[in-house]
Amino acid sequence: MARKWWTLVVVCAATFMLLLDVTIVVVALPDIEHALGASFSQLQWVTDAYALALASLLLTSGSISDKFGRRRIFSIGLVVFTIGSLLCGVAQDPTMLIVSRALQGIGGAALFATSLALLAATFHGRERGIAFGAWGAVTGIATALGPILGGVLTTGITWRSIFLVNLPIGIIALFLTLRMVDESRSPHARRIDWAGVLTFTAGLLAGVYGLTEAGQRSWTDGLVLGCFVAAAVLLVAFVIVELRVAQPMFDLGLLRTPTFGGGLIAAFAMNGSLFAMLLYVVLYLQNSLGYSAMDTGLRLLVMSGCTMVVATIAGRLSEHLPLRWLIGPGLLLVGGGLFLMAGLDAGSSWTHLIPGLIVAGIGSGRSTRRSPRPRSAWCRYTSPGWPRASTPPSARSASRWASPSTDRCSALGWPTRCTTTLPVARMPPMPTASTCCSVSARRSPSSAACARWR
C-alpha cells in the first residue's frame, strides 16, 4: 500500500479513538459511580474535563503544529492521549479519573487539530475528496458506535476496559505515524497567542465549574456567582486580547460571516440539547429501570443508528441542496424529539423514549454532515494598492480545506480576508506570479490577466 494511504489509516484510527471516547464513556457512568463512589457532580466532570480540555486547546494545537510540524504534534498527541487512557483505566478515585480525562482531552486536541491538515498536505485532487470522505465516515461511525461498544465492554469486562482498549490502538498508530507519515509545516506559521489561550481556557473553566456546582449548591451561592463573574471577566478579556494582538488565536472577524456564525449556533444547539441529555437518559435507564450497560447501549442504538443512516444520506444531499435546508429542519426535529421524550413518570418504560429517540436521531443526522467535500476559501486582499485582486488562500488560512499550494501573493505577508467558498473542482486556474503579483509596483493585476479573480 502506498505511503500516503497509511497516513489516511493513521489519521482515521486516531480520530475514531478520540471521538469514540466522547460517547463511549456515557453508558459506563453508573458503573463508575458505584465503583469509585463518585457524586453526580463528579460524573459530570468525567465528561466535561475531556470536552473542556479538547475545546480550549484545539486552536492552540493548530498554531503549534503549523510552526513545529504537524506529524510531530500529532505524535505527541497520540502519546499524551494513550497515557491519559492508561491512567483512566487504573484510576482509583474520581479525582484521578477526572484529571486523567483532562489529559486525554489535551492529547485529543493535538490529534484533532492536525488530522485534516495532514490529509490536506498528503492528498491532492480527487484523492483528497476520497480521503476527506473516509475521514468523515469514520467520525460518524465513531459517534454512533460509542454507546453500544461502551455497553459491551462495560458489561462483558469492566468499565476500565473502555479506556484500556485505546492502548493497543494508540501504540500501533504511533508506530505507523513515525514510520509512514511525512512531516509538513505551514509556511505562514503564526506566533502562539498565549494571552488568548490563558484567558479563553480560564474563562471556560470558570463558567463550566459554576454551572456544575450550581446543581449541587444553588444558583445564588457565593462560589457559583463568583465563578460566573470570573468567567464573564475572563471571556471579555479574551475578546480584548484577540482584537489587539497582531496574530490572534481566533479571528473575531469570522463571526461576521453568516455561514460561520450559523454553524456555531447550530453546533451549540446540538451539543447543548440532545448530546447533553444523553447523560440523564443513561442514568434513568440504568439506575431507575435497572438495565445493564449493554442493554442501555442497545436502546440508545435506536437514536445513533438513525443518526448514522440519515447523516450518510444528508452528505449526498448536501451536494445539491443548501446546507441551511438540512441543518435548520434537523434542529427542529431534534427539538421535537426531545419534546416527545417528555412526560416520564414512575410507571413509564423505556419504550416511551422510542419515538423521541427516532425523531431526534433523524434530526441529528440532518444537522451533522459526515462527509465534508474539499473546499477552498477565496480571499480578497485588503492592503492598499490591491483593492480588487482576489486569490486562493494561503496555507495558513485554509490548511484544512484548501490546496496546500501556497499562494504567491500572500507570501508577501499582506493581509487577506476570506469572502466566500467554492468547491476545489470549480476553482479557475491560479494566475502566474507575473500577472498576479507585481511586487515592485504593488499594483493590482491588469483587468485582462486577472479579471476572473475580481
Alpha helices in 157-286 (DSSP H): 161-164, 166-180, 194-216, 222-244, 258-283
Q: Which element (helix H / strand E) includes 291?
A: none
* 242 pLDDT above the threshold of 90: no
State the pLDDT confidence band at 234, using cuts at 50, 70 and 90: very high
Q: Are 397 and 414 contacting, i.e. CB atoms less than 8 angstroms apart?
A: no
Q: Are 238 and 196 contacting, i.e. CB atoms less than 8 angstroms apart?
A: yes
Which tens digits make up the pLDDT trace of 111-132?
A: 988 888 888 888 887 787 788 8
Write b or e for each residue in 415-446: b if 16 or more Cβ atoms lie within 10 A of its Cβ, otherwise e: ebebeebeebeeeeebbeeeebbbeeeeebbe
Cell representation of residue 325 = 435546508
From the centroid of its chain, how far is CA 189?
21
**Euclidean distance between CA atoms 396 and 363, whole angstroms:** 34
**Euclidean distance between CA atoms 97 and 74, whole angstroms:** 24
State the pLDDT confidence band at 237, using cuts at 50, 70 and 90: very high
In terms of pLDDT, which residue wins out, 12 or 402?
12
Q: Is the pTM of this model over 0.75?
A: no
CA dihedral 366, 369, 371, 373 (to 10 degrees): 120
State the pLDDT confidence band at 175, using cuts at 50, 70 and 90: very high
Cell representation of residue 200 = 479563553
Q: In a 3-state reduction of DSSP, which class is residue 428?
A: coil
The angle formed by the CA atoms of residues 267, 272 and 275, to the nearest 5 degrees, is: 90
- Averaged pLDDT for residues 282-309: 84
For residue 368, what pLDDT is reported?
A: 66
**Euclidean distance between CA atoms 431 and 452, whole angstroms:** 9
For residue 315, what pLDDT is reported?
A: 67
State the pLDDT confidence band at 232, using cuts at 50, 70 and 90: very high
Report the residue count for the chain.
454
Write down the domain spans for the chain: 1-189, 193-248, 258-372, 375-453
* Domain 1-189: assigned CATH number: 1.20.1250.20
For residue 226, what pLDDT is reported?
A: 92
**Euclidean distance between CA atoms 75 and 83, whole angstroms:** 12
- Averaged pLDDT for residues 16-42: 85
Identify the sign of the CA torsion 434, 436, 441, 442.
negative
For residue 213, what pLDDT is reported?
A: 80
State the pLDDT confidence band at 107, using cuts at 50, 70 and 90: very high
